[in-house]
Chains A and B, each alone.
Chain A
């Protein structure tokens, strides 16, 4: 009996592929469609979605008094390559759940795949409640099709903030259907629709008491896999959901109708804190007792937090929004941005200052607080209101950051500052590019076929902060070697010696590095002529922005002032020096200047990246400039024997 059952089962299992395989083979039409799509989209796209549909509906969870969201997703894939292997995955967390994640052949039969369900941690966070369900599927031939379905449930509408029309692969038709019941006040904000073929239709159903929004986007390319890109909120078309209020049993309850509502919710979480500062009372006293001015006191506390609290983030459920108690952070010596902000606030408070918590979105997010929504911000810092009313910001996650200097990632961003029951909105001040200046001073003499001389470098602003952070985190016993390798660029033609560096613990002054250098093989002599390659740094030479669709974003604004002086022996005369360059645009300035002064040549470079970005519209000009620069770098200084 048992054997029989097994045999029948085996036959049945084997029968499935024989039965279905016939109808799985791509038809000529499907193959030709795949070919057309391949030409239309990026050549690296292995598959496309012929149709992707998301149907959003809303419900009410009486028990928790929450509005719930359900998203039913159907995706029809076709392979554009002769063979494609892709992974299907979906993230979820404590607020969301996934069910009915299934894959079907084109004949509608279900594919037997196993979805792994794993905890997911991205690099920056130590722990969060994110999980991922994933599996791999293969498309054995061009034009092969699968349909993927799943349902996503979100427990609380607060966490349902945006839906994108773009995805990892190109989409021929993207449909987003939002069925809003009349009891829910929801605004659908259309973001970055310009330049895309997106249509909208609104239908009202009096019987069902709903309003249905149908958005159809056509021919949407895949998201670009480009480094140094602006955040997705700047570029890709999406709908931002502003849930304002809901009415149940005749009572209207607010969600995030106004910024005040968002603040109220944030503030309600902060109000749950006990703020027992006894753990660090003594520490604050110790840090402030010898400080003669308020600024010094603030500095001592701020720098102590930077230096002693490690960034380790737990973002599990409400911990993603509610700061940890300052005393916990103090005792643990680690925390996330909220924990550090809160500890900074409480320590300053303990020292008698008016300090506040600040919610802020970094530059990665395009929105400001005019759009009350949980996706507006992703960071928390501390603000200090001085006696004269001036507000300064303190970000404990930025290491070696001097008081009053702000990282590029928060500059010009709107800060939501705690102010009792109300709030203050203020932009973080913008820094000028020359705030982050790197100065290079090379002084060479030509000796035989070597360039011998001294170098003096100084770094201010974010260029200093960046270097101090690296230097201070190196292994003590490897620090000198690492510094040497940094200065000689791992090039055995550069011999660096006698290195002198300013105090790497002091973030309030410019970082200065002086050293001696010998450069081998920078000079070649042929037939009594001497050719010199003068530039050791050749900044920006690899930064040609080709095949790129998105603005290029730098980590900060840049300003380089480089002067190289080379003295040549009297027995030579200078016969040729490279050309100068002068380009000044909205976003960047590139100046190169060669001057001959007797038997010395002074080579100056002044490069400024004014707004920490090169815009796409600027790429052509930028590339022309970079190529001119590359030509200068490859040109030689030529000397002839007198």
Chain B
């Protein structure tokens, strides 16, 4: 018996070892075999002699094969790189890789074991080729994770390496591969770039070259079911991504997605814009195709009994008012009501799962579910709507849509003034959508009476202005008697997109969930917990969690204040922080918080009997554009228009007067933005008001100088000082 097992084990081992080496040899042959045209490509053009490294050949391959439900996905990359300095040698002197992994694709089977083969060789300047014995030299860390230090690597060498990943998996239905969206350019310049794509029947491909990248070309093959494509480019300069830039909007790049669908039935299941058949590479998506994909997928569905209960007995002046009320109710009832439970679950403080306390609730998990659920309420209440199909600006225009996961969905409620409803996070407002969608072209899908989507037309989303997205800070400054400290009282008011990140940053759940419970008369987690003693214990533990987060938060806010004024950690003392208004029920409402602290040893300089006060520093660190970035050949992409306004009120110390107001009055205002400041003395106070405005979310590169004009002016203001002159 024992002997048998042993024999089997040996047999299994031998079999596996053989199989592995066959694949391994195949991988090696694939890149470095007799067909390798780049075997002797060792030269680089003179123009790149001063680079850190030059990629002589970069080759990416995506191969998709199948046998019934069994898919074999091969993904490999080879780079042949000339190393021109120590930095590059260091960069390529160590590699880590996983030589076995479990595929997460398709159905789970114990067989879905992936393998990665890794090959490296070095070509010395005299042409001598040294193939690294990876199996021998790599060391295993944990679970197939290996690393290798490359021996004998020197400046002037060429390193030629590949990763070859073999990933078998089983998919009975549809499988959508991860989309690929990448620029052709990379960290180092590339002399030759080739991308190959190999597929069989049942694999559907969406592919497009954008921004001037070369097109994918078909290569004739012998087999009928077998297709091969190539994309080739030469002389690609290294990438240089400046500030405020969306590479996929300008730089030559590719977009690709591959789907596996075994029959027509499954093709229809795919959440993708599939080509008509496998022989066609799909590169554009028409309006009708969008409608075809979505028409039956957005029938209004979902349990809205809770919403009906909420509406019972309430009257509204308009549909807009009703929709708004329901939106915020859903945000609470389907989301913020459970946040305490999420925290309790994460911190292990309840005896049982805290989710048990909510029965069988509705929990909305994605945009699509939100659209179906929200439109269920709309259609029930006979409120007209369209579904907006949009894509974020950094993906390009909706007309160039190719990859379904690039779609963002918003519900447009066709009330007198249109309302936009997006899938919510805890602070999302009605009429708020991702800033990246603002002002973009979109498609509007309109429903029939029964909820099937029947019409599609073009449209455009509205945009906010810099006034809508305002960050306003009021600083009240008072110097102490010996001028060594400044007492600051600061009030910050944020609205529109300027408040969004800060609301998540500055509020923890306990700052707003109780507001929601009160508003909607719902119960907090603690009161849902059964058993008096248990409730009391959980309450104590929950209080401890809140205190811990609050303490951490306070420390973090103090650091934020230090960063804003670019001072060290010991320079701010007696820090306090308070939320005044949460600003969670209207996009235009202000999120307001106040802070106060003492600033030591900063921004006051002794000048004989007088003092110089670096008053400009209180508008916070400004965008610095370095010399090399003052010339710009790429358009300017920003998230949204916005303004940063400051009001600085300095109590002038007794016995002193303020000199130097003239430099605090600035005014650069052009089509791209503005920096405007005024200063005046009213009684014993110096009052400065500044406004920095970014007027659009996009500027053509020709406007860069106009932007520099107001950015420079703001920087100059940042450097301005006033003199507190002793009055004799």
Interface flag for A118 (CB, 8 Å): yes
Residues of A within 8 A of B (CB): 14, 17-18, 21, 25, 81-83, 118-119, 121, 126-127, 138, 140-142, 308, 310, 312, 314, 316, 331-334, 472-478, 481, 484-485, 490, 492-493, 495, 520-521, 524, 526-527, 531, 533, 542, 544, 546, 575-576, 630-631, 634-636, 638
> Is B154 among interface residues, defined by CB-CB distance under 8 A?
yes
Indicate the member of A18, A485, A635, A636 with the most B CB atoms within 10 Å: A636
**Chain A residues closer than 8 Å to B93, beta-carbon distance:** 310, 312, 334
29 pairs from A and B in contact (CB 8 Å cutoff) = A25-B537, A82-B543, A83-B547, A118-B142, A119-B141, A138-B348, A140-B348, A141-B541, A142-B544, A310-B89, A310-B90, A314-B149, A332-B152, A473-B87, A475-B85, A475-B87, A476-B84, A476-B85, A477-B51, A492-B625, A492-B626, A492-B715, A493-B719, A524-B660, A526-B725, A531-B612, A634-B606, A636-B605, A636-B606
Asked if residues B85 and A333 are in contact (CB atoms below 8 Å), the reply is: no
Q: A127-B147, A527-B659 are in contact. Are A119 and B605 (CB under 8 A)?
A: no
Docked complex Cα distance between A531 and B606 (Å): 10
Contact B725 A477 (CB under 8 A): no
Known: A140-B348, A141-B544, A527-B725. A635 touches B605 (CB 8 A): yes
A331-B723 contact, Cβ under 8 Å, with A17-B351, A310-B90 = no
Q: Is the CB of B608 within 8 A of A119?
A: no
Asked if A140 meets B607 with Cβ closer than 8 Å, knowing A472-B86, A478-B52, the reply is no
Q: How far is the CB of A550 from chain B (nearest CB, A)?
A: 17
Cα(A492)–Cα(B716), bound, Å: 10
Residues of A near B716 (CB, < 8 A) are 521
| Known contacts A142-B544, A331-B151, A527-B725; A476/B607 CB under 8 A | no
Instruction: For A481, list chain B residues within 8 Å (CB).
Output: 628
In the bound assembly, the distance between CA atoms of A126 and B540 in angstroms comes to 47
Known contacts A475-B87, A476-B85, A630-B601: does B568 contact A83 (CB below 8 Å)? no
From known contacts A481-B628, A527-B659, A636-B606, infer whether A476 and B142 are also in contact, taking CB-CB under 8 Å: no
- Least Cβ distance of A627 to chain B in Å? 9
Nearest residue (CB) in A for B84 is A476
Chain B residue numbers with a CB within 8 Å of A490 are 624
Q: Which residues of B contact A475 (CB under 8 A)?
A: 52, 85, 87-88
| Bound CA span A492–B715, Å | 9
**Interface residue ranges of B687-728 to A (CB < 8 Å):** 715-716, 719, 721-723, 725
The answer to whether B449 has its CB under 8 Å from any CB of chain A is no
CB distance from A476 to the nearest CB of B (A): 4
The reply on B548 being an interface residue by CB < 8 A is yes
B85: A residues at CB distance < 8 A:
475-476
Name the B residues within 8 Å of A142 (CB-CB): 544
Given contacts A314-B149, A332-B149, A521-B716, 6 further A-B contacts (CB under 8 A): A82-B543, A82-B544, A126-B94, A526-B722, A526-B725, A638-B607
- Shortest A427–chain B CB gap in Å is 33
If the complex has contacts A138-B348, A331-B151, A524-B721, are A476 and B52 also in contact, measured as CB distance less than 8 A? yes
A82-B543, A310-B90, A636-B605 are contacts. A140–B349 as well, Cβ < 8 Å? yes
Q: Is B60 an interface residue (CB 8 A)?
A: no
The answer to whether A312 and B547 touch (CB under 8 A), given A17-B351, A542-B568, A631-B606, is no
B715 and A533 form a contact (CB under 8 A) = no
CA distance A246 to B655 in the complex (A): 83
Could you tell me the distance in whole angstroms from the C-beta of B101 to the nearest C-beta in chain A? 17
Chain A proximity of B131: nearest CB distance (Å): 15
Q: Which residues of A contact B612 (CB under 8 A)?
A: 524, 531, 636
- Separation of A126 and B139 alpha carbons in the complex (Å): 10
Question: In the complex the two chains form, is B52's CB within 8 Å of A576's CB?
Answer: no
Known A126-B94, A527-B659, A630-B601; contact A334-B149, beta-carbon cutoff 8 A: yes
Q: Is B153 an interface residue (CB 8 A)?
A: yes
Give complex CA distance A140, B344 in Å.
Answer: 11
* Chain B residues within CB distance 8 Å of chain A: 50-52, 84-90, 93-94, 139, 141-142, 145, 147, 149, 151-154, 347-349, 351-352, 537, 540-541, 543-545, 547-548, 568, 570, 601, 604-608, 612, 624-628, 659-660, 715-716, 719, 721-723, 725
Assess the B548–A81 pair: CB atoms within 8 A: yes
Q: How far is the CA of A526 from the CA of B153 in the complex (A)?
A: 62
Cα distance A317–B438 in the bound complex, in angstroms = 60
Pick the contact of B149 from A18, A138, A312, A630 — CB < 8 Å?
A312
Tell me whether A524 and B628 are in contact in the complex, defined as CB-CB below 8 angstroms, given that A476-B85, A544-B570, A630-B601 are known contacts: no
When chains A and B are docked, how far (Å) is the Cα of A25 from the Cα of B626? 59
- Which of chain A's residues have a CB closer than 8 A to the CB of B624? 490, 492
Whether B626 contacts A83 by the Cβ 8 Å rule is no
Which one, A333, A334, A476, A576, contacts B608 given CB within 8 A? A576
CB distance from A633 to the nearest CB of B (A): 9
Alpha-carbon gap, A126 to B147, bound state (A): 9
B607 proximity list for chain A (CB < 8 A): 531, 576, 635-636, 638
- Chain B nearest Cβ from A641, distance in angstroms: 15
Nearest Cβ on chain B to A189's Cβ, whole angstroms: 36
Closest 9 CB pairs of A and B: A332-B151, A82-B544, A475-B52, A83-B544, A521-B719, A526-B723, A636-B607, A476-B85, A119-B141
Chain A residues positioned under 8 Å from B537 (CB to CB):
21, 25
Establish whether residues B141 and A526, one from each chain, have CB atoms under 8 Å apart when the complex forms.
no
State whether B541 touches A83 (Cβ < 8 A).
yes
Write the chain B residue with the least CB distance to A131.
B142
Task: Kindly list chain B residues whose C-beta atoms are within 8 Å of the C-beta of A314.
Answer: 139, 149
Given A544-B570, A546-B570, the answer on whether A526 and B626 have CB atoms closer than 8 Å is: no
> B541 near A331 (CB under 8 angstroms)?
no
Q: Is the CB of B548 within 8 A of A526?
A: no
